Structures are given as C-alpha cells and as structure tokens.
C-alpha cells in the first residue's frame, strides 16, 4: 500500500527532537513476536466467466486490461449527472460519517505510538500542616513525613507551630518493548485505519453507483410514461373514430365500450409509474444530502444518457487491488495477524524502567538547598506465572480470528468475481434484449398503423384493434426497459470492477474538476496511517 504523510512547518522541529531520541529507546526493544502479515496473492484465474469475454453484437466492445476512469460516470456524457454526483459527494452525510471514521482510527493509531516513548509526569504537592500535642502521634507523623520525602532524619525537622510542606517531583517511566507488543499494537491500529479508508472508498463507490443507477431508473420511468402516453393518445384517437362510426351506423356500441375499457386500462398504468418516478426523485434528492422539499433540479431522460462505445475490463489479477471491499477485508486480516503478536507478547516478561526525583522543604527558600533532594530509580520485571490459562486462551482466540478473517477475505474475493461475471452476462443479455425489443416495437408499430388505416376506411375489427394497441404498448415499454437495463448494467460493471478507485487515488477524493484536486487541497485532507513510529502533533 502506498503510504502518505503530511506535516506542517511547526511540527518539523518537534519531530526532529523525537526522531533523535527514538533510536535510544528502539535499541532497547527486541524483535516483534507473532506472524508477519503477507498480502494474499491474487486468485490463479485468467477470466471472469467460463467462456471468453462476451461480444456484444451492436453494442460496446470490451477492452481487457484498460484503465478504469476515476470518474467513470462521465462515460454517460450527461452534465447534469456529473453535477449531481459532485453535489452528492459534497453533502451526503453517510460519506461524511465515513470520512470522520478515518480520523477516529488514525488518531487512535497515533495515540498507540506514544508507548514507544517514555512517560514523564510532574507532581507538585504543597500543604499546610499542624502537629498534634500528642507526642506519640507526633512521632508517627514525623516517621510518615520522613518516608514521604525520603530525606534523612537529621534534616531540619518540622516546627511545632503550623508549617508548610512543599514537594516538587518528576517521575519518568519506560516499558521496554522487548517482544514487540507495542509494535504489533501500532500495526493493528494502523490496519484499522487502512480498513476505514477502504470503507470510505467503498462508500464513495456505493454513493456514485447509487446516484447513477437512480438517475438511469428515473430516465427509464420517464421513458415508460412517455410510451404509455403515446399509446393513450393513439387509443383516444381510435376511440373517436369508433364513436363516429357508431353514430354513422358502421360500428356496434359494444365495440365502442370495448375500446373505452382498453383506454381506461392504459390510463391506470400512469399513476403507478408517476408514483415510482416521484419516489425516484425523492431518492436522488436524499442521495444529494437534501431534504425532500428541496428537490434536485436535474432531470434525466434516456435520450440524454449515451451508452459508451467501449467498456474497460480489468484483468482478474488486478481486481483484488481495485475493489475497496477486498482491500478492507485484507486490512482486516492484517489487523487480526498483528493481534496474534500482541497476545503472544502479553504472555512474556515485561521490563519497566522508572525513576523519580525532586525536592521537598518546609519553605520555598529551602526548596533547592542541599539535603532537600530526593530520588528513586528502579527496574521492574513482571511475568504472569499462572492466570487460569486466560492469556493462553486469548492467544488462541487471536489465532482463530486470523482464520476467520482469512475466510472472510476469500469470501469477499469470490463475491467480487461473481459480481463481475454477473455484470458481463447481464450486458451480453442486454445487447440481445435491446435488439429484440427495438425490432418488436417497430413490428408492433407497423401492425398498429395498418389497423388504424383499416379503421379509418370503416373496416372495423375490434379484436384486431385491441391486439394491435396492446402489442404496441407492451413493445414500447419493453424497449424502454431494455435500454434502461443496459445502462444500469453498464454502471454495474464499473461498480463491480471497483469504479477506478485505487491505492494511489486514496487522497484524490472528493473529485474537483477533470484534473482532480490541487496539491494544496490534498494537504488539507486527513492523512492515512503514516507508517512512522512517531506520533504526529498537528
């Protein structure tokens, strides 16, 4: 994974100081116990389906190995769609939540790095005391005072009148990372940060994919409404002809009523489609981060969305590096692997070095005079001899977590390849469906035109009229649905291959114009886990 880091001029000096001190403490640390994470290899397959890449007759052609554009939705050449996606990326609260989750994980990882450095605590205790007249109690207090200050009993004793006691003390402690427990903990925390970053990528991909498919669905619904309205207009026209023929005595009243029933059935289709269109508009408005009354201005029609002539198709070996859900599952395996090292190190001895020193006196003027200093230096070794096998079982649980994460990773990869295969097969079927639907609509229109001409000539055959009207209505709607499905499945293919988000694009979000964000804008984004063992201060 490509690692990025960011800093400001104010932090350079402080980092140099800590980087100078770091080798001194790192020299006291040993190697990290536990398994080292190795990124899984891509599956040993060369194609997504059992046959070769489908050839879409009359449709776009596949370009194996071609780069997926970062702004893949621009292949539909709709400026309104581009504006809506940019607005959604800017205002969608789900995306903002995912961005904030990265900040949480990143700062937790940086906080974990503090264990690489010693802790220093300053303690200042000032008190006012009065000795009791009880000599035995006074003796006890004098003994407690001597123990607290660690000063010789020959030092200046406390007066009988109320007196002050000033204690200034500095304590420094450092636990040697002999077995790499801290190192593995930082590794696990940074893996969590990576996981959150890939989940942000997945959220971007899901958001842009949802906006595109919702816009295509709106366009398809508008197309279906237009097809129904065309059929309604034709049926009204034919109903008018039948009424005239009935008045002239050339048609029966039953024929007129039958045509009126057919018109009523067609009219019943509109409310359902209009309801779906309104709900689709509400969905697009919500995806843009707006409330329903503040409806988006963009509208979409099938004629304004052009299908691409070429479709990039990733190689199977590259899919595992392009799908953010796969990378998130890999980061989960990384975290689980590091936790095994943490569990193993917890069962081994720990060495802690500590020292405290300071001054204590009864008066401020005496605070730093000879005889008032105090200090303690210690080295502690702790090791758990028996804990009811708790630490052992925690280690085994961590090892089982690695197996679980690995299985989840393999499951994610299998589902990803299934998504691509499904998208390819869907596009192959869509190419045939669009061709057949267009032919069916044209044929039904010719048949309807013949029936309309016969009806004008007075050759009334109500059954033929109804069949022609119904066939044209069904064929028109089927053609619109087929075109909408082809556009939706085209978007589905881009989503299935990862939508163009790669490791090197992690900080290129959100999009800002055709050339991406400027360097100044990139520096304002939250950095990923830096890979440095030093915590950041900015």
Structure tokens at 56: 């879409």
The predicted structure's pLDDT at residue 145: 54
The Cα–Cα gap between 373 and 275 comes to 84
Q: Give me the pLDDT at residue 58, please.
A: 61
Q: For 50-88, write each residue's pLDDT tens digit.
A: 776 565 666 678 888 888 888 999 999 999 999 999 999
Cα dihedral 419, 421, 426, 427, rounded to 10, equals 110
- At 141 the pLDDT is 55
Please state, in angstroms and rounded to a whole number, the distance separating the CA atoms of residues 504 and 506. 6
Stretch 357-374: mean pLDDT: 87
Question: Are the beta carbons of 255 and 246 closer than 8 angstroms?
Answer: yes
pLDDT band, residue 217 (cuts 50/70/90)? very high
Scan for tokens 């003994």, then name that residue.
143
Residue 15 has a pLDDT of 43
In terms of C-beta density within 10 A (0-12 exposed, 13-18 middle, 19 or more buried), how is residue 470 classed?
A: middle
- Measured at the CA of 256, the angle between CA 252 and CA 262, to 5 degrees, comes to 140
Q: Which pLDDT tens digit goes with each residue over 404-414?
A: 999 999 999 99
pLDDT value of position 123: 93
CA distance 125 to 360: 9
Residue 29 has a pLDDT of 44
Tens digits of residue pLDDT in 181-213: 999 999 999 999 999 989 988 999 999 999 999
**What count of other Cβ atoms lies within 10 Å of the Cβ of residue 160?**
10
Give the orientation angle of helix 181-248 with respect to helix 79-91, to 10 degrees: 140
For residue 524, give both structure tokens: 């304002």
The whole-number pLDDT of residue 254 equals 87
For residue 484, with 0-12 CB atoms within 10 Å meaning exposed, 13-18 middle and 19 or more buried, which class applies? buried
30 pLDDT more than 60? no
The percent of residues in the chain predicted with pLDDT above 90, rounded, is 52
Name the band, by pLDDT with cuts 50, 70 and 90, for residue 493.
Answer: very high
Residue 192 vs residues 69, 200, 330, 382: alpha-carbon distances, Å: 28, 12, 11, 30
Tokens of 108: 């937790």
pLDDT at 146: 59
CA 363 – CA 365 distance, rounded (Å): 5
Query: Beta strands 350-361 and 310-313: pairing type?
Result: unpaired
């Amino acid at each position: 994974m490509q690692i990025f880091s960011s800093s400001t001029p104010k932090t350079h000096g402080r980092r140099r100081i800590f980087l100078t001190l770091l080798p001194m403490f790192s020299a006291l640390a040993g190697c990290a116990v536990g398994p080292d994470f190795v990124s899984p290899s891509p599956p040993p397959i060369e194609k997504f389906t059992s046959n070769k890449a489908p050839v879409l007759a009359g449709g776009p052609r596949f370009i194996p190995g071609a780069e997926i554009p970062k702004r893949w939705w621009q292949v539909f050449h709709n400026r309104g769609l581009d504006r809506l996606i940019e607005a959604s990326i800017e205002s969608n609260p789900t995306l903002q939540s995912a961005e904030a989750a990265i900040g949480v994980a990143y700062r937790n990882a940086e906080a974990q790095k503090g264990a690489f450095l010693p802790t220093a605590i300053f303690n200042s205790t000032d008190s006012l005391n009065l000795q009791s007249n009880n000599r035995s109690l006074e003796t006890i207090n004098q003994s407690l005072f001597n123990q607290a200050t660690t000063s010789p009993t020959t030092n200046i004793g406390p007066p009988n009148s109320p007196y002050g006691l000033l204690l200034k003390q500095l304590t420094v402690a450092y636990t040697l990372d002999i077995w790499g427990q801290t190192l593995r903990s930082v590794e696990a925390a940074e893996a969590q940060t990576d996981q959150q970053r890939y989940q942000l990528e997945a959220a971007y991909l899901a958001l842009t994919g949802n906006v595109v498919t919702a816009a295509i669905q709106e366009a398809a619904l508008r197309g279906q409404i237009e097809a129904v309205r065309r059929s309604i207009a034709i049926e009204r026209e034919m109903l008018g002809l039948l009424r005239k023929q009935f008045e002239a005595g050339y048609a029966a009243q039953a024929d007129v009523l039958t045509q009126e029933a057919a018109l009523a059935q067609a009219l019943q289709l509109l409310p359902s489609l209009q309801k779906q269109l309104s709900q689709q508009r509400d969905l697009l408005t919500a995806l843009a981060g707006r409330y329903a009354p503040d409806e988006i201005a963009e509208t979409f029609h099938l004629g304004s969305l052009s299908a691409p002539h070429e479709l990039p198709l990733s190689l199977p070996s590259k899919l595992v590096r392009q799908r953010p859900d796969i990378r998130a599952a890999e980061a989960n395996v990384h975290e689980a692997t590091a936790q095994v090292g943490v569990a193993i190190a917890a069962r081994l001895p720990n060495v802690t070095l500590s020292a405290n020193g300071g001054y204590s006196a009864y008066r401020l003027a005496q605070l730093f005079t000879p005889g008032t200093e105090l200090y303690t230096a210690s080295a502690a070794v702790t090791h758990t001899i028996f804990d009811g096998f708790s630490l052992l079982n925690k280690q085994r649980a961590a090892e089982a977590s690695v197996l679980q994460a690995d299985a989840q990773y393999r499951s994610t990869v299998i589902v990803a390849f299934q998504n691509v295969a499904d998208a390819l097969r869907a596009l192959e079927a869509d190419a045939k469906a669009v061709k057949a639907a267009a032919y069916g609509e044209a044929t039904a229109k010719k048949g309807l035109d013949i029936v309309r001409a016969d009806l004008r000539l007075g050759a009334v055959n109500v059954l033929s009229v109804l069949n022609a009207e119904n066939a044209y209505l069904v064929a028109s709607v089927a053609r619109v649905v087929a075109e909408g499905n082809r556009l939706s499945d085209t978007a589905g293919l881009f989503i299935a291959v990862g939508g163009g988000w790669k490791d090197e694009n992690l900080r290129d979000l959100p999009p800002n114009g055709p050339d991406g964000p400027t360097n100044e804008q990139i520096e304002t984004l939250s950095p990923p886990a830096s890979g440095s063992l030093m915590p950041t201060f900015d």
